[in-house]
A and B are shown apart, each in its own frame.
Chain A
Amino acid sequence: MFLSRSDRILRGALVMLALLSGSVVLLIVWFLVAGALPALRDGYLPRLLFDEHWQPGSARDPQFALMPMLAASVLVTALAALLAAPLGIAGAVFHRFYLPKRLAVWNQRMLELLAGVPSIVFGFWGLTVLVPLINRLHPPGQSLLAAGIVLALMILPTIALTSQSALRSVPESQLLAAAGLGMGRFATVFHIALPSARSGIGSGVLLAIARAVGETMAVVMVCGNIAKFPGSVFDPVRPVTATIALEMGYASSSHKALLYLAGLILVLVTGALTGWLAFGKRNAGEVS
């Protein structure tokens, strides 16, 4: 490739900008590792697993039970995915195969609007409307269930929109063939469309799960923030993200190191999910 002098200058500048953009994530991970190192070095790791309580600031008897929070993160995310995935996929099927075009456009617009609602607004709505409702059903209201529902509503548009586009890319010829064989809509959906769109729908759900794991504000407002293993869906919980948000302001020394460790765990989990997604996409691309 022939490059003039100005081209070479431009290329140099762009390389620098690209390197900068690509390395921000390295800087973040480095900061997390450096911050978490004291906790790893002082042998807190077994205590994270076996301590009974979370009282990292206590001077007399500091305890660092991280497991209930990791469990809370997993449970809240799983509950949200279990609620949102069937609804989102069913909604997408309806959008693709049942709704007239004119209405389908509006359905899509509503989903995009819902996707744009900030997490803080979801959290606030959950706190002022949903939590009192659950409280009437089974006190205290701020609970695993409330966090799961709010998160489910937040990831519903992601799942629905990705499922819609996956269903849209099912080849028309397959659907026509199904119609030619006299298959009903139900059979076409379950035996042709959904299997064919499976990988697209799956990666949408995975994307939504990655987002749910890292969500903070909506969860911290409705989950109750008690760092214990929940006995039922009505018990308050405290996911990892909520812990960081609540304690970062005043944490010091080993407590702070633990919060960095929690952040590092979050990044590893969401990074692994993203990597898995990208890997799946590349493999799918090579096959077709």
Chain B
Amino acid sequence: MKSPVSRRNHRRFSDLACGIVGAVAASLTLVVLGCIVWDLLRLGLPHLSWLFLTGEVADGGRSGGIGPVLVSTVMIVVIALAVAIPPGVGCALWLSEFVRPGTVPARAITGGVDLLASVPSIVFGLFGMAFFAQVLGLGFSILSGGLTLACMILPLLVRTTLTALQSLPVDLRPSAAALGLTQTTTIRKILLPAALPGILVGVTIGVARSLSETAALIFTSGYATRWPDSPGDSGRALSVHIYDLAMNIPNGAAAASASALVLLLMILVINSFASFLAERWLRRYHS
């Protein structure tokens, strides 16, 4: 039998080993994030300037800027949100206020939405190209890209809105009914305003997801680098621009890094805004 001292030493050792392995694993995240940011800064920062942000794309992207690309990106995101928010919020409202959870219709709709969330982005691209670009005849256009992204962020909006509605105090509904308010008024004047921060978190995450998306946009919104005049024009998103510079343009790495920095910064700001909103929202209702 082991002496108590050796057993204690053994325990100390295994505790320590476990801690060291964990520390290495946890710090790896930091190292990787640091490496990515450092490499992007090293390659891209010299290329970054105000002119880069506002200028036209020249020489396949190697010189000039990303002005038209940014405009196209914003147009795609705005279209995606405008199209996805009404069905997303509406679906969540119906699920939370008009149908009992667990019934067949409720399960069918949530199942469909959850399955939609599992569809890989490249398949959204395939579908968007076949349906929006070809069947509906929208062609390679900002509108096609926006509609495709709308399908992609729809499940996210449904889920976040549903969570926001369900985390409201339960007695809001019977209290409103006791005051003689119709359900329409309850939803419009009480539930939606109260759930608004939660819904906004979802919308913000949706913006970040749309900005990050590449695979769904290559074959829907296209590659054009002109200033877009209307949603019917083709226009490349920032992420597609990075892809093109990295894969198809020799010596495009500097411009690609600078574009990636811009994209990363946008995502960072948007995600911080989302977590700021979420924290305030949580403090209001759950402390």
Contacts and interface: CB of A to CB of B under 8 A. Distances in A.
A236 to B, nearest CB: 15
Given A125-B39, A214-B122, A7 B183 contact: yes
Contacts of A110: 29-30, 33
A241 interface: yes
A27 B131 contact: yes
Contacts of A111: 29
B263 interface: yes
Main secondary structure of the interface of B (DSSP, over half): helix
Contacts of B108: 22
Contacts of A35: 126, 130
Interface string A245-275: 1001100000000011001001100110111
Contacts of B126: 32, 35, 244, 248, 259-260, 263
A91 B120 contact: no
A157 B29 contact: yes
Interface string A164-176: 0000000000000
A95 B23 CA distance: 8
Contacts of B215: 216-217, 241, 245
Contacts of B93: 14
A157 B33 CA distance: 11
B182 A25 contact: no
Given A93-B18, A216-B121, A18 B242 contact: no
Nearest to A21: B91
A207 to B, nearest CB: 9
A119 interface: yes
B119 A18 contact: no
Nearest to A272: B118
Given A94-B19, A118-B214, A18 B246 contact: no
A22, A110, A185, A270: which has the most chain B beta carbons within 10 Å? A22
Interface of B: 11-12, 14-15, 17-19, 21-26, 28-30, 32-33, 35-36, 39-40, 43, 86-88, 90-91, 93-95, 98, 108-127, 129-131, 151, 154-155, 158, 182-184, 187, 208, 211-215, 218-219, 239, 242-243, 246-247, 253, 256-257, 260, 263-264, 267-268, 271, 275
